[in-house]
């Protein structure tokens, strides 16, 4: 048990701590970028899982715990909530840019984008072409689909709209 010296008096500081906690599967983005931190308030951080079965959920919680403990926020509780359900629309603009730079096309935005059939073409994160095609709707992790760029011939991951 880590003795907590600080309850959250400075949510800005907690936010800065969380900004340095990477997603274990996609380490280019932080838990804040992904939109899985739903609230930071008196004595608690509220998080929500991305997918029901995402194996990273437990690792994320442990990483946040460690980061909080290391920064004197040992008394801050981590609460997990399912509702409202996480959506890719909660990925921040900064997060979307980080994904693109990392080689993952960010997800289409908005409720209409959730229409699964005739999904709009992804933009290749390497060459920027929209001349792309889906190879597999399911990819290396629950949150990604496999795509291929027909312009530069490179395969790439696309964050699934969710």
Binding site for other proteins (CB under 8 A): 49, 51-55, 81-86, 114, 116-117, 135-140, 142, 146, 160, 162
What is the nearest approach in angstroms of other proteins to the Cβ of residue 49?
A: 8
For residue 18, which of 2, 38, 1 has the smallest C-alpha distance? 38
- Shorter beta-carbon distance to other proteins: residue 30 or 88: 88
What is the nearest approach in angstroms of other proteins to the Cβ of residue 124?
A: 19
Question: 3-state secondary structure string, 23-57?
Answer: CCCCCCCECCCCCCEEEEECCEEEECCCCCCCCHH
- Shorter beta-carbon distance to other proteins: residue 45 or 161: 161
- Shorter beta-carbon distance to other proteins: residue 3 or 52: 52
Decide if 31 contacts 47 (C-beta within 8 A): yes
- Shorter beta-carbon distance to other proteins: residue 62 or 81: 81
Question: Could you tell me what percentage of the chain is helix, strand and coil, using 3-state DSSP and rounding each to the nearest 5?
Answer: 25, 20, 55
Structure-block tokens of residue 27: 């380490």
What is the nearest approach in angstroms of other proteins to the Cβ of residue 123?
A: 21
């Amino acid at each position: 048990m880590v003795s907590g010296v600080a309850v959250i008096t400075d949510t800005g500081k907690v936010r800065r701590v969380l900004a340095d906690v990477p997603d274990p599967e996609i380490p280019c983005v932080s838990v804040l970028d992904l939109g899985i931190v739903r609230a930071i308030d008196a004595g608690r951080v509220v998080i929500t899982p991305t997918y029901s079965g995402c194996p990273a959920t437990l690792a994320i919680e442990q990483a946040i715990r460690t980061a909080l403990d290391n920064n004197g926020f040992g008394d801050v509780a981590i609460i997990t909530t399912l509702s409202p359900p996480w959506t890719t629309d909660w990925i921040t603009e900064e997060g979307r840019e980080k994904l693109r730079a990392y080689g993952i096309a960010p997800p289409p935005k908005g409720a209409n984008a959730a229409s699964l059939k005739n999904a709009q073409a992804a933009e290749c994160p390497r060459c920027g072409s929209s001349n792309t095609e889906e190879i597999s709707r399911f990819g290396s992790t629950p949150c990604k689909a496999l795509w291929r760029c027909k312009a530069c011939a490179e395969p790439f991951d696309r964050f699934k709209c969710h």
